[in-house]
Amino acid sequence: MEDLESRSAHGHRTHDLHPRSRLLVRDRKLILGDENQTRWRAVGSAALWFLLVAFGGGISVVWAQGDPEVAPRESAAEATAAAPSDDESLLETSAPSDAIVQREVIRRLRAYQGLEGVVVEVQAGVVRLSGEVLSLALSTEAESLAKSVDGVVDVLDQTEVVRDPREVVGPVLLDLLERLRTFLGWLPLLVVAFGIIGIFVILARWVGRWSRVYRRLSENPFVQDLWRLAFRSAILLTGILIALELLDATALVGAVLGTAGVAGLAIGFAFRDAAENFIAGILMSFRQPFLPNDHVAVDGHEGKVLRLTSRATILLTLDGNHLRIPNAKVFNSVLINYTRNPLRRFHVAVGVGTDEDLLVAQRLGVETLFDIEGVVAEPAPTARIVELGDSSVTIHYFGWVDQREFDFSAVKGEAMRRVKTALEDAGMDLPEPIYRVRMAPRTRVAKEPPKDTSRGAESAAPPPSTRVDATIDERIDEERRTSEDDLLSTTASLE
C-alpha cells in the first residue's frame, strides 16, 4: 500500500499493474479523498466557532462598558483609585490591627490589680473601656494604660465606680490582710533593726558624757556642745544606716537626704536672719572680741557684756537695763571695748577770757588734775588750746583714769569741778556766752533774790568719791552664776 501511494504521489503510471491492484488503488484514493474532506470540514467548523465566540465577547464588552475608547481609560482610572498609594500601604502595614491593640490593652490591664474586670473594645484605633472599678483612681489608671499602647488613637472611658459597700469592702480587707501578712514576715527583721538602733542610741548617750574629752578639744562651752552633738549624731546615723541595710532599704537614705536638702534650702531662705545670727554667734564664740563684764559700745549702744547666746549678745546698760543685740549686727558693726585697755583718757573743755594769760590757765588746770584722786601720773595730764572764739578761748584738759580702780565718769566729773574752781580762785575770767535779747514793751521782769556766790560754802563740802561703782558688776556676776546659756569663756583666747 505504501508503495502504491508513493508511486501515485510521484505520478507513476498504474496501467501496468494487475487489475486487482488497480481496483485497490482506486478504492484507496476514494478513501483518502473522503478523509481529507472530513479533516478540512473539522478545521473550518473550529475556525467558524472561534470567530463567533470572539465576536460575541467583543460585543458583550462593548455593551457593558459603553464607548470602547473611553472604557479603557475609565477602567485604568478605577484601577488606579482602587490601588492604595505607597504611603497608605506603609501606614496600613506599620499600624497594628485592632485585634493586636485589643490584646495588648487587655494584657496591661490584667497585670494591674483592680482592673481585671474592665472590658476592652477596639475599633479603628479607638479603645472603649467599660465595666466596673473600685475607685476613680483605678478608672484614671486604666485610661492611662490604654493610651500608652502603640496604635491607640483615642480612649473612651466608660467605666463605672462601684458604690456597693460589699464589693468595696471585700478587696480592701483582702489588701489589709495581705499587708498584715507582709508585716508579720518582716517583723523579726524589724525587731532586730530597732534593737540595733537602740544600742547605738545608748552608745551615743554614753559618748555624750565624755566631758573631759570635750574640754580638751575646746575651752568654750558652746564649742564643747557642738563637738558633743557632732559625735552623737555620727553614732546615731551609723546605727540607722546599719538598720536600713538589714531591711534592704538603703535606697530610702538617698530619698531622705534629697528631701532634707530641699527642705533645708527652703528653711534657710525662710529663717535667713536666724541662721545668720547663729553662725555669727559661733564665730564670735571662737574669736571672742569681748569677755563677760567688759564695757563695750556697739552701734551706739553702750553697756557691760552679760552673756553671749546663739542668737544675741546681751548687755547690761549703765542704767541697769538688759539690752539684746542680734549677733549678726554685733559681728558686722564697729565695736568699742573700753575694758580691754584699763587706762582711759578723758578731757574737760573750759573757756577763758581772751584777755587772760593762757599759759597760766593751762598750768593751773594741769596742776589741779594731778591732785585729783583717780587721775594717774603716767601718762601725765596735759592741756591744749583748741579754739579761739569771739569772747573766749577754749582749752581742753586731758587726764587718764585707771578703770580697774576708779570710775571713769566720777573722775571726769570731779575734774570738771576742780579745774573750774581753780581757775576762778586764780581770778581768771570765765566769760559766759553773750546773747542779744530783744524785750517786748510793757514787759515786767520779776526780780530774783540775790544768789550766794561765796566759794567758802562750796569748798567746805567734801569731794565726791571717784572709786569704781561695783553695782553693775555685782549684778552681772549674779546673773552669770544663774545662767547656763552662755558662749563666752573667761579662759578662752581673745581676738
96-163 belongs to which CATH class? alpha beta
Name residues whose C-beta falls within 8 Å of residue 475's C-beta, 6 or more positions apart in sequence.
316, 320
pLDDT at 418 (0 to 100):
92
Give me the pLDDT at residue 444, please.
54
**Which residues share a beta bridge with 316?**
304, 322
Long-range contacts for 177-181 (Cβ within 8 Å, ≥24 apart)? none
Residue reference for cell 490604654:
146
pLDDT for res 475:
66
- The DSSP letter of residue 117 is T
CATH fit for domain 275-339+476-482, picks 3.40.50.300, 2.30.30.40, 3.40.50.980, 2.30.30.60: 2.30.30.60
pLDDT of residue 84: 45
Any idea which architecture 343-434+457-464 has in CATH?
2-Layer Sandwich (3.30)
At 213 the pLDDT is 85
In the chain, % helix, strand, coil (3-state, to 5) comes to 55, 15, 30
Contact 411, 375 (CB under 8 A): yes
CA distance 231 to 236: 9
What is the rounded distance in angstroms from the CA atom of residue 454 to the CA atom of residue 438? 31
Which pLDDT value is given to residue 246?
Answer: 82
SS3 464: coil
| Contact between 96 and 150 (Cβ < 8 Å) | yes
Q: Write down the pLDDT at residue 72.
A: 41
Nearest to 183 by CA among 247, 250, 254, 113: 247
Q: What is the pLDDT of residue 363?
A: 92
> What parts of the chain have a pLDDT lower than 70?
1-96, 163-168, 170-171, 250-251, 435, 440-475, 479-495
Q: Cα separation of 129 and 137, whole Å?
A: 15
Q: Which amino acid is at 244?
A: L
DSSP symbol at 430: -
Instruction: HSE, CB side, 13 Å, CA atoms: give it for residue 450.
Output: 3
Per-residue model confidence (pLDDT) at position 472: 67
At residue 416, the pLDDT reads 93
**What strands, in cross-sheet order, belong to the sheet with 392-402?**
343-353, 392-402, 382-388
Q: What does the pLDDT read at residue 30? A: 43
